[in-house]
Amino acid sequence: MFAWRNYLAIINCMNIEKVKITNYLNSISRERDKWRWRNSYYHKSLKNIYNFFIPKEEKILEIGCSTGDLLAGLEPLHGIGVDLSPAAIKLAREKYSDNNNLTFIQGDAETFELNEKTNYVILSDTIGYLNDIQTAFENIKNVMTPKSRLIINSYNFVWEPIFRIAQWLGLKQKIPQQNWLSNDDIVNLLELAGYEVVHKEGFILFPKYIPLLSSFLNGFVAKWPLIRGLTIAQFIVARLRYAPPDDDINNYTVSVIVPARNEAGNIEQAITRTPEMGKWTEFIFIEGNSQDNTWEEIQRIKEKYSNKRIKIMQQDGKGKKDAIYKGFAHAEGDVLMILDSDLAVMPEDLPKFYKAIAENKGEYINGVRLVYPIEKKAMRFLNLYANKTFSILFSYILNQPYKDTLCGTKVLWRKDWERIKENLWYFGDFDPYGDFDIIFGAAKLCLKTIQIPVRYRARTYGKIQIDRFSGGWLLLKMACIGFKKFKLNLR
């Protein structure tokens, strides 16, 4: 009986706290627009960051939407705002009564119910007010799919003394005592609730607008390795931890894209050495203006191996990217794989990539040539150390480990490629090989990235078709574009 009474007392205290928070949120709802205007630079910066992570025309749920300004600013296909405050919801409905894409619901993060799934769930400066964060995370899972993303931004707890002074000076809206969590605290609660983190990063070092100074501090200084832990807005992107049923793992279909130029001696081996994967495997050969008999060999192989799914075609344009894109456009498989026709990465390794993506270990699987010893003549000395150097740089830029950006073996879901393709405009037409279109696109969508080490062999036919110096210049150019787009958030 004593334990039961203690439990009831705890529940009663929790309800009292929710009532207090609700009353507070009701009391400030009329002042929200005033404070958003006074701190417009901070709120505009937040919206820009969310615009980077979330494409337009998506289904978005915002928990703690207040009067709906952030949700409306993301231009969703269907936006649903949930807030504990009835007064805030009433104002949101009034402000956006003419926007048929928005719906506002009064509800609690721990108990709300929806009869639909969403692509993105947002908690923006909300986690501090939640009474039971783990329970809220578990409830949010009900509106997510394995492809959905939960995006959280919260105040960095090291700023609490400064925020208190700002409130005392009337520079910031007064708030009641709330939860102050470090990134590690939030990650731990997410893991307890069944999520895994795919991206975390700090933004905004200086929340007020002063011409030139704000841009310098927030766009450059805030990205320094020793400074970024002090930024105000801490962002975490998570996905559900999901293991597909065993029956589904071998039930996907696979398209292997093989761009081929002057590779006649490798075409048949690409067929004979690649194991069957999933329900079925198709090969798509794209020949690109070869000087040898590559096209004739591709035609011969298609006829010889008529029992296999083989598509053959010639490029309309030039370059590896053009070939890959054409192959992707004609692919019918659920999973897209790129196999370079020099076969320096062994086709026998492709089942490792299939297993990783089919078991949901990752959503974008990137090959890495720089772990196992590399055969002599497979990669020149300067190329090897340039790749190692740039791997460190790109790991910093993309905020996740990237040991080898130029390995040709890349695997992703066809549906994710369609999403990446829709956002290619953001980075521009800058990549002649297509590697960085995929890498940057996957990072922008916060796809879970996995690196798989592969052995890199010397060619047995033909010669290397990429100049080492132009490759180094390309990497440097890609690093500059990546820093501008991912670190400075500049279009």
Q: How far is residue 251's CA from residue 141's CA, in Å, rounded to a whole number?
A: 25
Q: Are 321 and 274 in a shared domain?
A: yes
Please answer whether residues 249 and 332 qualify as being in contact, where contact means their C-beta atoms are separated by less than 8 angstroms: no
Q: Please report which confidence band the pLDDT of residue 10 belongs to, taking 50, 70 and 90 as the band edges.
A: very low
Please answer whether residues 52 and 79 qualify as being in contact, where contact means their C-beta atoms are separated by less than 8 angstroms: no
Torsion of CA 404, 405, 406, 407, to 10 degrees: 50
Average pLDDT of the chain is 86
Q: How far is residue 386's CA from residue 381's CA, in Å, rounded to a whole number?
A: 9
Sign of CA dihedral 129, 133, 136, 141: positive
17 lies in which domain range? 2-240
Q: Are 304 and 171 in a shared domain?
A: no
Q: Are 353 and 483 in a shared domain?
A: yes
Domain C-terminal end among 208, 240, 272: 240
Per-residue model confidence as pLDDT tens digits over 278-309: 999 999 999 988 989 999 999 999 999 999 99
Reference 195, options 137, 143, 154; nearest CA is 137
Q: Are 197 and 258 in a shared domain?
A: no
Q: Are 360 and 394 in a shared domain?
A: yes
User: In residues, how long is the chain?
Assistant: 491
Q: Are 276 and 176 in a shared domain?
A: no
Per-residue model confidence as pLDDT tens digits over 373-403: 776 655 555 566 666 777 788 888 888 878 8
What is the model's pLDDT at position 462? Answer: 57
Q: Are 259 and 125 in a shared domain?
A: no
Average pLDDT of 424-430? 82
Instruction: Name the domain count of the chain.
Output: 2
Q: Are 178 and 314 in a shared domain?
A: no
**How deeply is 99 buried, as exposed, middle or buried, from its count of CB atoms within 10 A (0-12, 13-18, 19+)?**
middle
Q: Are 253 and 229 in a shared domain?
A: no
Q: Is the pLDDT of residue 95 over 80?
A: yes
What is the model's pLDDT at position 480? Answer: 86
Q: Are 54 and 110 in a shared domain?
A: yes
Q: Are 222 and 321 in a shared domain?
A: no
What is the model's pLDDT at position 5? Answer: 45
Q: Are 178 and 309 in a shared domain?
A: no
Phi-psi region of 434 (alpha: psi -120 to 50; beta: other; left: phi over 0): left
CATH number at residue 253: 3.90.550.10
| 409: its two tokens | 């073996």
